[in-house]
Homo-oligomer: A and B are copies of this chain.
């Protein structure tokens, strides 16, 4: 059992109409001048943004709006946000949207008082010491950013773009407002990408070298089974409140560290995917589904019994009489089958709609390994050559 810290201080207000508490919660955490950060037109069309503006105004809370955050949120937008915060004297960041908007808020939070370039933080070359507090109204269950300590930003200012993360406890939202009704209008594709993302957050922690944290494993398995069961329901009936609620809460629990307590985790699939979405601007969840099976087959030898356990406890494979390798393969196939059943790709061709070239693979592996100078993955440390191999298996 690895020693661990667990710190998930976000105040979660979950249920119908919880967005009505936004002014109360902003005030509770000291906000007087808010940056209202959001994505595209959907927040306006749905009526959520106007509603939030009305609630803030009526409570006497000043705000300034900054919309236009896109999936794989951009550094250029972060810079804009930092500028607005400085000019307007913003003291609280309110994200209305999904993980991209929250991650953009987090980057703005870290850059607001930082004297250097905010990208330096994402390059892990420095730490900020002062942050703006963040709250959110979640509309897309997926990234788990509403309770996580992480933020992933795409640097759109460099050739070929670069996607990097920065993780600090100061990035934990002060509050997260989660009303499942706000997710009714999410298209099936985005819903499925979200389900995949949250399952992968759990699986990245589950597939580790450690086999001695039974309670964490049992909770992770329960979470994964629930995601599959409720995910199918929600795709069949997008306005089923209860299923939307399960999926929404699962997204937060999958990434607030609960499913990784005492285990060391892997995270290679995320690293491999970041290059894919960095290069092709694809949905993160779909990118994860496209490479996971290949990653699993390439690395399973490091802990075959764990893959066999996964097959039995998560995928419901009858593993009696099977050797671990066969059980593991059956489990991987079953998970790929699930991904396909919710419309996810399980290879790169289906993800990007064309054959990926050797040069593109080489480029991604080069970036992912920072020119073969470092490895990724806790279960098996992958060097550049390993990455090339996995991308080719997944092509």
Q: Across the interface, do B11 and A253 meet the contact criterion of CB distance under 8 Å?
A: no
Give residues of chain A (92-144) contacting chain B, Cβ–Cβ below 8 Å: none
Q: Across the interface, do A1 and B214 meet the contact criterion of CB distance under 8 Å?
A: no
Given A15-B1, A261-B14, also A222-B218 (CB < 8 A): yes
CA distance A16 to B4 in the complex (A): 10
Q: Across the interface, do B1 and A6 meet the contact criterion of CB distance under 8 Å?
A: no
Q: Is A241 an interface residue (CB 8 A)?
A: yes
Across the interface, A213 reaches (CB within 8 A) one of B12, B246, B253, namely: B246
Q: Across the interface, do B11 and A5 meet the contact criterion of CB distance under 8 Å?
A: yes
Q: Which residues of B contact A219 (CB under 8 A)?
A: 219, 222-223, 253
Most B CB atoms within 10 A — which of A6, A11, A12, A241? A6
CA distance A253 to B259 in the complex (A): 12
Q: Across the interface, do B222 and A1 meet the contact criterion of CB distance under 8 Å?
A: no
Across the interface, A5 reaches (CB within 8 A) one of B12, B242, B246, namely: B12
Q: Which residues of B contact A372 (CB under 8 A)?
A: none
Q: Across the interface, do B15 and A253 meet the contact criterion of CB distance under 8 Å?
A: no
CA distance A215 to B233 in the complex (A): 14
Q: Which residues of B contact A226 (CB under 8 A)?
A: 214-215, 218
Task: Considering the complex, give the chain B residue whose CB is closest to the CB of A257.
Answer: B12
Interface size on A, residues (CB 8 A): 41
Nearest CB of B to A228, in Å: 11
Q: Is A46 an interface residue (CB 8 A)?
A: no
Q: Which residues of B contact A221 (CB under 8 A)?
A: 222
Contact with B along A1-38 (1 / 0, CB 8 A): 11111111101111110100000000000000000000
CA distance A5 to B15 in the complex (A): 9
Q: Across the interface, do A8 and B8 meet the contact criterion of CB distance under 8 Å?
A: yes
Q: Across the interface, do B229 and A245 meet the contact criterion of CB distance under 8 Å?
A: no
Across the interface, A245 reaches (CB within 8 A) one of B1, B223, B258, namely: B1
Q: Across the interface, do B6 and A9 meet the contact criterion of CB distance under 8 Å?
A: no
CA distance A89 to B180 in the complex (A): 47
Q: Which residues of B contact A184 (CB under 8 A)?
A: none
Q: Which residues of B contact A230 (CB under 8 A)?
A: 214-215
Q: Across the interface, do B249 and A215 meet the contact criterion of CB distance under 8 Å?
A: yes
Q: Across the interface, do B15 and A7 meet the contact criterion of CB distance under 8 Å?
A: no
Q: Across the interface, do B5 and A13 meet the contact criterion of CB distance under 8 Å?
A: yes
Q: Is A379 an interface residue (CB 8 A)?
A: no
